[in-house]
């Protein structure tokens, strides 16, 4: 964050109000004649009349601006032409003025308002935005994008929560490329490590007892040769599913409905005189679920 001493205040023009009729398109919630300063949005689409006291006490940027020599006293309010659009300014001014907040319904809008709040050194507004990250409607927004925002600002608790929500998504899906490209290398590595670790831990666990390895073995009942090919195919299907959706919630349903699963539960000893079922369906499903419940779910 820039300090007030580093801000280029010359980028913002302060002039006396030049419209004698006062026919500015004021925002209805920021049009009180008691206001002594007017903030004009980009392209002057909307004006916000407010008080220098509010701006000075909530923003390091404006505190520095208003500490500079100002024009001679006048009954007219000053107009400050800003570089932000009217929606961004309205969000910020509502936050620092104690007015009801507008819903932040997209990652892009959150990012614009957050960037402006950082530039104007508004810690109160930044705190409100941090709380909004995990509440509706942002709670259902793009979790990868939201995770990147939290990682960028060092909001570790929120980043962990949102990393869990990314598990419902395939990071290699092209639609997520833009969100991933915004991440720092560290944040990107942590997210990929989380997704991969879940798949790899489950893959290794499916080769350990009480699961069979998948290699040929002798039937415990008739000593006939058993080829565990149905189990190998089911394991492969499970791992592919974890690649696509690391959350793993679809695996539980798949163990009941996938063709590979049904073939596995029907598989028996190839010896016609034996026919022993090779796998205990209920116990296998239980152990897989138990294993998945132990998987790491956050960065």
**DSSP 3-state of 78:** strand
> Which is higher by pLDDT, 296 or 210?
296
- 99 confidence band (pLDDT: 50, 70, 90): very high
- 4 confidence band (pLDDT: 50, 70, 90): very low
User: 52-57 long-range CB contacts below 8 Å, 24 or more apart?
Assistant: 54/96, 54/97, 55/96
Return the minimum-mean-pLDDT range out of 84-88, 178-182, 193-197, 228-232: 228-232
Number of neighbours of residue 200 by Cβ within 10 angstroms: 12
By residue count, the chain amounts to 299
Confidence (pLDDT) at 10: 47
Domain ranges of the chain: 4-141, 198-293
Confidence (pLDDT) at 134: 85
- 112 confidence band (pLDDT: 50, 70, 90): very high
pTM tops 0.85, yes or no: no
User: 214-223 long-range CB contacts below 8 Å, 24 or more apart?
Assistant: 219/269, 219/271, 219/274, 219/276, 220/276, 221/269, 221/274, 221/276, 222/269, 222/271, 222/273, 222/274, 222/276
**What is the spatial distance between Cα 8 and Cα 235, in angstroms, rounded to a whole number?**
60
The model's pLDDT over 173-187, given as tens digits with 9 standing for 90+, comes to 999 999 999 999 999
Confidence (pLDDT) at 105: 83
In CATH terms, 4-141 corresponds, of 3.60.15.10, 3.40.50.970, 3.30.710.10, 3.40.1080.10, to 3.30.710.10
């Amino acid at each position: 964050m820039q300090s007030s001493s580093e801000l280029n205040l010359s980028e913002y023009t302060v002039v006396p109000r030049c419209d004698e009729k006062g026919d500015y398109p004021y925002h209805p919630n920021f049009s009180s004649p008691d206001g002594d300063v007017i903030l004009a949005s980009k392209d002057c689409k909307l004006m916000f009349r407010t008080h220098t006291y509010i701006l000075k006490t909530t923003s390091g940027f404006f505190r520095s601006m208003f500490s500079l020599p100002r024009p001679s006293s006048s009954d007219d309010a000053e107009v400050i032409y800003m570089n932000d659009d009217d929606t961004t300014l309205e969000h910020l001014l509502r936050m620092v003025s104690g007015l009801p907040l507008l819903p932040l319904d997209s990652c892009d809008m959150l990012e614009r308002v957050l960037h402006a709040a950082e530039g104007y050194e508004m810690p109160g507004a930044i705190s409100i935005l941090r709380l909004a990250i995990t509440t509706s409607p942002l709670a259902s927004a793009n979790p990868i994008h939201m995770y990147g925002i939290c990682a960028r600002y060092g909001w570790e608790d929120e980043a962990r929560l949102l990393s869990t929500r990314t598990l419902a998504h395939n990071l290699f899906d092209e639609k997520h490329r833009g969100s991933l490209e915004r991440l720092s290398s560290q944040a990107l590595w942590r997210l990929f490590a989380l997704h991969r670790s879940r798949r790899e831990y489950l893959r290794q666990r499916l080769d350990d007892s009480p699961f069979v390895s998948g290699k040929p073995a002798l039937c415990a009942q008739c000593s006939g040769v058993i080829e565990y090919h149905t189990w190998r195919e089911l394991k492969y299907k499970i791992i592919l599913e974890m690649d696509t959706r690391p959350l793993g919630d679809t695996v539980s349903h798949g163990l009941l409905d996938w063709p590979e699963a049904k073939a596995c539960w029907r598989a028996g000893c190839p010896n016609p005189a034996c026919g022993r079922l090779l796998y205990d369906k209920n116990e296998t499903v239980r152990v897989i679920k138990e294993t998945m419940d132990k998987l790491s779910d956050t960065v």
